[in-house]
Amino acid sequence: MKAVRLSEHGGPEVLSVEEVDRPEPGGHELLVEVEAAGVNPVDTYFRDGSYEPVGLPFTPGVDVAGTVAEVGEFVEGFDEGDRVYGTGIGGGAAQGAYAEFATVPEDRLVHLPEGVDATEAGGAGVAACTSWRALVDHAGLDPAEWCLVHGGSGGVGHAAVQLGASVGARVITTAAPEYHDAVRDLGADVVLDYGRDDLADAVLEASNGGVDAVLDHRLDDYLQFDADVAAPDATVVGIGENEPDPGFSNDGVARSKDVGYKFMSMFNTPGLRVPLGGVAHLMDAGDISIEVARTYDLEEAPEAQRAVMEDSFLGKLVVVP
């Protein structure tokens, strides 16, 4: 079979397509014939060695959708021919999705409803499950609450906008002007240009004085901002940053409102089947649609990994073997 491989850490140029043996599933694994594999920033971190390396050589890719080709000895609830999707990112990292076939632990896959497009599902894992963990598990977002999603055109952001809308929350998000109409169509009540000078005032005005939940992917830029626009007892969920030293210029603002901060990582997800199953239901119901900006074949994986870090686009990039 064909698979994208790397034998050393480095830039996208270290990725190449090789002919390798089709893997055999372990006792608690499924062999999936891959129809689509999402391209995530985390894939590039494993490639360049920023994250704790897995053994070299390896095939990258944690998000997958496809059809079960073989079932491990101890697997229950799945049969050959079942449509499935999932992500290997919780509780470590199961990789290998940039290939024609991939082995995936059974607890990181769920059944994919017949009405859900496999290419969309291939891009859903990390993005949509991060949104679920942040807004449902950590923020406890309720109907009619105000929710601020930073970066509503991104992979996580565009899923979070839809998830917030699906639970009946009122969603404010930020995006570049060229994406405003598209993000509004996804369910955002208010879309603001993230570059405007009066952004905090605009969020406060739109939310009638403050938001109840914040999903923040750039804590080094917005940690203080989140406190400034938070309502009393709000929850800020931090999922990432560009620089690892975010700080407050005035933490008293957060303390005065009893703002709660939760910093999360998908690696700590206790059980992936709950968010995966919830997202599958919402995709099947039409409440979440993963916007696929571009698709790439295996030979184009280096370009896909470059683009996910450097290009502007709405939604997700997906490798289709």
Same fold, 2-124+290-319 and 127-267: no
CATH of 127-267, one of 3.40.50.720, 3.90.226.10, 3.40.30.10, 3.90.660.10: 3.40.50.720
Q: Are 115 and 285 in contact, with CB atoms under 8 Å apart?
A: no
CATH of 2-124+290-319, one of 3.40.50.1260, 3.30.70.1520, 3.90.180.10, 3.30.200.20: 3.90.180.10
Q: What is the dihedral of CA 227, 231, 232, 233, to 10 degrees?
A: -80
106 vs 109: CA distance, rounded Å: 6
pLDDT of residue 43: 96
122 vs 88: CA distance, rounded Å: 12
Residue 205 neighbours by CB under 8 Å, 6+ apart: none
Residue 198 neighbours by CB under 8 Å, 6+ apart: none
pLDDT of residue 52: 72
pTM for the whole structure: 0.95
pLDDT of residue 51: 86
SS3 11: coil
pLDDT of residue 79: 98
Report long-range pairs for 184-190 (Cβ below 8 Å, ≥24 apart): 186/152, 186/158, 186/161, 186/162, 186/289, 186/291, 187/161, 187/162, 188/149, 188/152, 188/161, 189/165
pLDDT of residue 180: 98
Q: How many other C-beta atoms are found inside a 10 Å radius of the C-beta of residue 49?
A: 12
The separation between CA 118 and the C-alpha centre of its own chain, rounded to angstroms, equals 16
User: Which residue in 212, 217, 207, 216 sits closest to 42, CA to CA?
Assistant: 217
In degrees and rounded to multiples of 5, residue 280 shows phi and psi of -60, -40
The separation between CA 174 and the C-alpha centre of its own chain, rounded to angstroms, equals 17
SS3 71: strand
Q: Are 255 and 278 in contact, with CB atoms under 8 Å apart?
A: no
pLDDT of residue 53: 66
Q: Are 59 and 99 in contact, with CB atoms under 8 Å apart?
A: yes
List average pLDDT for each run of 10 residues in the chain, which is 321 residues long.
Answer: 96 97 96 98 94 85 98 97 93 87 97 97 98 98 98 98 98 98 98 96 98 96 97 97 88 94 93 96 98 98 98 98 96
SS3 298: helix
Q: How many other C-beta atoms are found inside a 10 Å radius of the C-beta of residue 179?
A: 23
Residues 290, 293, 296: CA angle, nearest 5 degrees: 110
- H/E/C letters for each residue in 99-129? ECEEEEEHHHEEECCCCCCHHHHHCCHHHHH
pLDDT of residue 94: 85
Domain ranges of the chain: 2-124+290-319, 127-267
